[in-house]
């Protein structure tokens, strides 16, 4: 078996349900036709949304099938058997075994395993420590169909990109209301219980800019800004895709932290799913993503971009952002032109469909003193103006905006006197929901001024959905 991926149609999997998303020539992130269907005990169903084509149907998802009614008499349908999700963190338990050899064998072979969903055209995620995959931490992929879990790149299991790949197979059943999963392999049974891991502390990830590009490894790059004040350990994955092939399949443990980050794309095969090597093919759409996952592999945020031709450094670039926590995605636009304050910066947005549902604005300044009085406003193509910042920020001890993003769903106010950092996601003075229902396309204008001070506007970014 050879893993097949999707580029012109992006795949987003949430829980056990698969959705197809994509972007049209102008960059609308509205979906792909022929999307993957399924869900708990599901079956394929078509679907057509605007955007790129290229989805495939996919069998079911997690779980089993309902049972049909009784035989004879007045039987009628029976209640369907409950289905449970294999996704998440699991650890082997030995408490169902009596004292003796079986207990000792179990204790001698501890096993922690995490199963994560496939997102944005990448593979599923398998992380195993101990047990049948081996004593060392092992990264791989998995499938779950008809009561069978198949682990690839695990133990004797082939990488999933191998021709006619065969993984390590387990019959799976659940107990204790889905809190225990029993995996049977030959004569051996492993009883696993759910392991609750710390939730993510990551609260924002914004795409800032994209590098000049090229077809070779390390030619494509991007910069992004992350807000993670608690620095909770988690996971990160990186994907580079083109024409149904995966050129970069990287997965590693990571503490995101807060601040500006940069990333290059290159050949990598951590999970055994990479199916092609750089260079990319010219004149063929390619997609690049950096995905943040929680400690249990749940996807949290992703930033990325699409290009139509890796040979055309001046060609169209479609910036993309995904918030899996809120189940929303945005197109991203930006300007890095430096201007002296008072400054006005204009972003020309085109090719998007529909009206505004949400706007998030990002601003960076330099050389502004603490205690300055600010006026920051955003004006839509329809002429609506929202004052985002007015007056002194916080308690007046903070200076420059540091890729500060403003969003209505933020929980900290720009006026909070206890505000300790402007590397943050903050609620604006006035809600940006004033733009809802207006046109996405046209000139969006940011105005930034400070009273009694000078400085520079260095960055204006806009996320629109």
Q: Which pLDDT tens digit goes with each residue over 336-378?
A: 999 999 999 999 999 999 999 999 999 999 999 888 889 999 9
CA atoms of 436 and 299, how far apart (whole Å)? 27
pLDDT tens per residue, range 364-421? 999 998 888 899 999 999 999 999 999 988 888 888 999 999 999 999 988 888 888 8
Q: What pLDDT is stored for residue 82 in this prediction?
A: 61
**Coil, strand, or helix at residue 435?**
helix
* Residues 6+ positions from 8 with CB-CB distance below 8 Å: 22, 32, 52, 53, 54, 285
Cα 209 to chain centroid, rounded: 18
pLDDT tens per residue, range 67-78? 333 333 344 555
C-alpha distances in angstroms, 378 versus 261, 276, 345, 446? Answer: 26, 44, 10, 5
Burial class (CB in 10 A: 0-12, 13-18, 19+), 326: exposed
Is residue 65 scored above 80 in pLDDT?
no
- Stretch 422-434: mean pLDDT: 95
**Coil, strand, or helix at residue 179?**
coil
CA atoms of 303 and 8, how far apart (whole Å)? 16
**Coil, strand, or helix at residue 299?**
strand
pLDDT tens per residue, range 24-61? 333 333 333 333 333 333 333 333 333 333 333 333 33
Per the prediction, the chain carries an average pLDDT of 83
Residue 374 tokens read as 């600010």
CA atoms of 123 and 3, how far apart (whole Å)? 8
Listed by start position, the domains of the chain span: 88-194, 204-332, 336-464
Q: What pLDDT is stored for residue 258 in this prediction?
A: 92
Q: Would strands 88-92 and 188-194 be described as parallel, antiparallel, or unpaired? A: antiparallel
Is residue 84 scored above 60 in pLDDT?
yes
Q: To which residue do tokens 């939730």 refer?
A: 199
Nearest to 362 by CA among 302, 422, 319, 309: 422
CATH match for 204-332 among 1.10.3720.10, 2.60.40.1930, 3.40.1190.20, 3.40.50.2000: 2.60.40.1930
CATH code of the domain made up of 336-464: 2.60.120.260
Contact 425, 408 (CB under 8 A): no
CA atoms of 326 and 89, how far apart (whole Å)? 22
- Stretch 110-121: mean pLDDT: 95
Contact 441, 351 (CB under 8 A): yes
CA atoms of 304 and 281, how far apart (whole Å)? 19
Is residue 80 scored above 70 in pLDDT?
no
Is residue 285 scored above 70 in pLDDT?
yes
pLDDT tens per residue, range 132-174? 999 889 999 999 998 999 999 999 899 999 889 999 999 999 9
- Stretch 283-304: mean pLDDT: 96
Q: What pLDDT is stored for residue 77 in this prediction?
A: 57
Q: Angle at CA 314, nearest 5°, toward 311 and 316?
A: 90
């Amino acid at each position: 078996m050879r893993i097949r991926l999707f580029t012109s149609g992006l795949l987003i999997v949430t829980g056990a349900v698969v959705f197809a998303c994509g972007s049209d020539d102008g960059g609308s992130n509205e979906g792909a036709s022929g999307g993957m269907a399924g869900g708990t005990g599901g079956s394929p169903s078509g679907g057509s949304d605007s955007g790129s084509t290229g989805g495939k149907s996919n069998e079911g998802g997690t779980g089993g099938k309902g049972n049909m009614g009784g035989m004879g008499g007045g039987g009628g349908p029976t209640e369907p058997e409950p289905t449970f999700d294999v996704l998440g963190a699991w650890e082997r338990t030995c408490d169902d075994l009596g004292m003796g050899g079986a207990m000792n064998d179990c204790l001698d072979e501890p096993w922690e395993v995490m199963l994560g969903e496939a997102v944005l055209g990448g593979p599923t995620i398998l992380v195993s420590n101990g047990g049948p995959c081996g004593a060392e931490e092992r990264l791989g992929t998995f499938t779950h169909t008809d009561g069978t879990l198949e682990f690839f790149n695990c133990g004797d299991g082939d990488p999933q990109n191998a021709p006619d790949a065969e993984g390590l197979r387990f019959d799976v059943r659940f107990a204790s209301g889905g809190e225990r999963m029993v995996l049977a392999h030959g004569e051996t049974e492993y009883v696993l219980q759910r392991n609750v891991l710390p939730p993510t502390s990551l609260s924002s990830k914004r795409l800032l800019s994209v590098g000049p590009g090229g077809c070779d490894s390390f030619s494509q790059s991007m910069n992004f800004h992350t807000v993670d004040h608690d620095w909770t350990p988690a996971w990160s994955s990186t994907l580079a895709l083109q024409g149904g092939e995966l050129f970069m399949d990287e997965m590693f443990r990571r503490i995101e932290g807060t601040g500006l980050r940069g990333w290059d794309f290159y050949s990598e095969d951590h999970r055994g799913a990479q199916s092609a090597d750089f260079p990319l093919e010219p004149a063929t759409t390619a997609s690049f993503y950096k995905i943040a996952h929680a400690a249990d592999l749940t996807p949290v945020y992703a930033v990325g971009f699409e290009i139509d031709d890796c040979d055309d450094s001046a060609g169209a670039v479609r910036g993309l952002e995904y918030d899996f926590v809120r189940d929303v995605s945005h197109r991203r636009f930006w300007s890095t032109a430096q201007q002296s304050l008072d400054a006005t910066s204009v972003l020309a947005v085109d090719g998007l469909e529909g009206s505004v549902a949400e706007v998030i604005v990002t601003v960076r300044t330099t050389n502004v003193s603490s205690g300055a009085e600010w006026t920051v406003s955003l004006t839509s193509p329809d002429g609506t103006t929202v004052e985002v910042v007015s007056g002194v920020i916080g308690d007046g001890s903070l200076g420059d905006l540091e890729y500060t993003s403003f969003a209505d769903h933020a929980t900290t106010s720009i006026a909070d006197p206890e505000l300790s950092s402007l590397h943050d996601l903050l609620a604006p003075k006035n809600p940006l929901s004033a733009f809802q229902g207006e046109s996405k396309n046209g000139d969006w204008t940011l105005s930034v001024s400070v009273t009694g001070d000078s400085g520079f506007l260095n960055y204006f970014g806009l996320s629109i959905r």
